[in-house]
Amino acid sequence: MKILVIGLDCAAPEILLGDERLTHIRRLMEIGCYGRLESVIPPITVPAWMCLTTSQDPGSLGVYGFRNRSDYSYDGLTIVNAKAIQELAIWDQLAREGKKSILIGVPPSYPPRKVNGLCVGCFMTPNPATVTFTHPPELQAEIGRLLGDYPVDVKGFRTNDKAWLKEQIFAMSRKQFQLVKHLLQTREWDYFHFVDIGLDRVQHGFWQYHDPQHVLYEPGNPYQSVVSDYYLHLDQQVGEILELLTDETIVLVVSDHGAQRLDGGFCVNEWLVREGLLVLNEYPTAVTPFNQLDINWEKTKAWSEGGYYARIFLNVKDREPNGVVDQADYEPFRDELKARLEATVDERGQPLGTLVFKPEEIYRTVRNIAPDLIVHFGGLYWRSIGGVGYGAIHTRENDTGPDGCNHAQYGGFILAAINLPLQAEIRGLRLLDIAPTLLELAGYDVPGSMQGKSLIAGLALDALPASGLTAAEEEILRERLSGLGYIA
């Protein structure tokens, strides 16, 4: 069996599985199984897609987000690239068995992965006009002939020019789907994986216009339907792709994480300052990014990186250059800090419901330099703001530009194949379960490095349709002719 993965970055299961207008998606749900899909911590595009394709958790990959600490200095984080993740992925297992893969926009895929087949770079490609973003490189010229400029992302998607943004995202997605359909039809493949990044961009840009519970939502606003229109667009594209398949294909529509409204920003370093854990030589007069703050490291016990979630780092003696937390105090202090973070409240003093994780407790192994704590403020209804100078803990602003939604812990999936023995809503499936499920369903070996559990483990696969006329087919044939009158 061939495997087709249609990745919808950030697709919210509430919409993907709940909007009855998505007729092609509905049909897949009808013939297969579907449900919410628990993402990894943190539920972020990088590393989530690689967790899905390698069935390894972020700690085992040693990748805790787009940006990671490369050493224990205070010099900030470095951006991950495709080379940082070399663990055995689905396509590697297929290559071992001599099979071909096509990857389009599976993050991170810059520089393009040298797979047995084709790879087209993801949104992390610096500038598709000036760099090589395909493997093999010749593919790039073919894409140029077919589509002209190939957009890998909408640069500057955190903008207030919503009309422009909407047009850019739809145009990008249409071009990418055109490439998908072109390669589906013109190339041999055994594994095909595309990730539409446009959905993530649309939701970050337009969720506040879509969700009545969003603090910025205004009824009747002109962008009210942009998010759901984009899902309709995706459904239409999925429908066109399905037309191109054969029965011997496993189809997975899947998201790496979900989406949910953003209630506000929690200024985590501001909070650490107030708690006396982050000490500044001078409190800034204006909002200032963390890396431009004048920090007194000798007195600082913890600091944080912002983003969709917070990464808290402790300033540990003999680990960081100016560490102050004794190794012996590390665990008690971390526990105390965890408890204090979990007790954070909103502007009105109500508990935020903040989730705090210790890496070694949630990952099978912890490679490279993990944050000391990972924090989901308000269960990710709150973004983490790294800058200081707001004069408050809570803000409706975002330090990196307007944003309407945050990621949610649960994405969604729909899996359909003629040999799939499950036709139902599935509960409890996790992102890491996807790769072993696909490999087992398609009849490949599942590498021992994969941590998830196959959804179909222990189940007998449905038989592929037999050739020849079965009694049931005969009856159908007879009934189709029945009522004619002229025949017995």
- 141 vs 424, which CB is nearer to other proteins? 424
How crowded is residue 402: how many other Cβ atoms within 10 Å of its Cβ? 16
Q: Are 165 and 364 in contact (CB under 8 A)?
A: no
Helix, strand, coil percentages in the chain from 3-state DSSP, rounded to 5: 35, 20, 50
**One of 159, 178, 224, 249 touching other proteins (CB under 8 A):** 249
- 294 vs 474, which CB is nearer to other proteins? 474
- 131 vs 244, which CB is nearer to other proteins? 244
CB-based burial label for 378 (10 Å; 0-12, 13-18, 19+): buried
Residues 376 to 395: which contact other proteins by CB under 8 A? none
**One of 3, 8, 12, 28 touching other proteins (CB under 8 A):** 28
Phi/psi for 480 (5° steps) reads -65, -30
Stretch that binds other proteins, among 133-141, 239-247, 318-326, 448-456 (CB under 8 A): 239-247
Task: Take residue 357 and report the two structure tokens written for it.
Answer: 């994780």
**Ordered DSSP codes for 159-184:** -S-HHHHHHHHHHHHHHHHHHHHHHH
**One of 185, 186, 246, 350 touching other proteins (CB under 8 A):** 246
**One of 129, 328, 460, 488 touching other proteins (CB under 8 A):** 488
CA separation for the pair 46, 108 (Å, rounded): 7
Residues 6+ apart with CB under 8 A from 224: 209, 210
- 274 vs 478, which CB is nearer to other proteins? 478
**One of 67, 170, 239, 440 touching other proteins (CB under 8 A):** 239
> Taking the C-alpha atoms of 229, 230, 236 and 241 in order, what is their torsion angle to the nearest 10 degrees?
180
**One of 1, 40, 103, 251 touching other proteins (CB under 8 A):** 251
Residues 6+ apart with CB under 8 A from 323: 315, 316, 317
**One of 247, 298, 326, 335 touching other proteins (CB under 8 A):** 247
- 4 vs 51, which CB is nearer to other proteins? 4
CA separation for the pair 269, 255 (Å, rounded): 31
For CA atoms 102, 108, 110, 116, give the dihedral sign: negative
Buried-state track 185-218, b at ≥16 Cβ within 10 A, e below 16: eeeebbbbbbbbbbbbbbbbbbbbbbbeebeebe
CB-based burial label for 466 (10 Å; 0-12, 13-18, 19+): exposed
Would you count residue 460 as binding other proteins (CB under 8 A)? Answer: no
The site map against other proteins for 31-50 (x = CB under 8 A) is x-------------------
**One of 11, 16, 29, 154 touching other proteins (CB under 8 A):** 29
Half-sphere exposure of 246 (CA within 13 A, CB side): 10
The site map against other proteins for 413-432 (x = CB under 8 A) is ---x-x------x-------
**One of 146, 245, 422, 426 touching other proteins (CB under 8 A):** 245
- 93 vs 437, which CB is nearer to other proteins? 437
Would you count residue 243 as binding other proteins (CB under 8 A)? Answer: yes
Q: Are 110 and 126 in contact (CB under 8 A)?
A: yes
Angle between helices 162-186 and 198-210 in degrees, nearest 10: 140
Q: Are 280 and 295 in contact (CB under 8 A)?
A: yes
- 215 vs 481, which CB is nearer to other proteins? 481
Would you count residue 184 as binding other proteins (CB under 8 A)? Answer: no
Residues 101 to 140: which contact other proteins by CB under 8 A? none
Instruction: Please report how close the Cβ of residue 236 comes to other proteins at its closest, in angstroms.
Output: 13
Residues 465 to 484: which contact other proteins by CB under 8 A? 469, 472, 474, 476-484
Instruction: Please report how close the Cβ of residue 99 comes to other proteins at its closest, in angstroms.
Output: 20
- 163 vs 486, which CB is nearer to other proteins? 486
Number of H helices, E strands in the chain: 14, 20
Stretch that binds other proteins, among 40-48, 76-84, 245-253, 325-333 (CB under 8 A): 245-253
Phi-psi category of residue 140: left, alpha or beta, with phi > 0 → left and psi -120 to 50 → alpha: alpha
Instruction: Please report how close the Cβ of residue 467 comes to other proteins at its closest, in angstroms.
Output: 10
- 132 vs 249, which CB is nearer to other proteins? 249
H-type alpha helices, 287-433: 330-342, 359-362
**One of 147, 242, 280, 422 touching other proteins (CB under 8 A):** 242
Task: Tell me the sheet residues that pair with 430.
Answer: 38
- 73 vs 482, which CB is nearer to other proteins? 482
- 286 vs 487, which CB is nearer to other proteins? 487
Instruction: Please report how close the Cβ of residue 295 comes to other proteins at its closest, in angstroms.
Output: 56
Stretch that binds other proteins, among 26-34, 384-392, 442-450, 452-460 (CB under 8 A): 26-34
Binding site for other proteins (CB under 8 A): 20, 24, 26-31, 239, 242-243, 245-247, 249, 251, 416, 418, 425, 469, 472, 474, 476-488
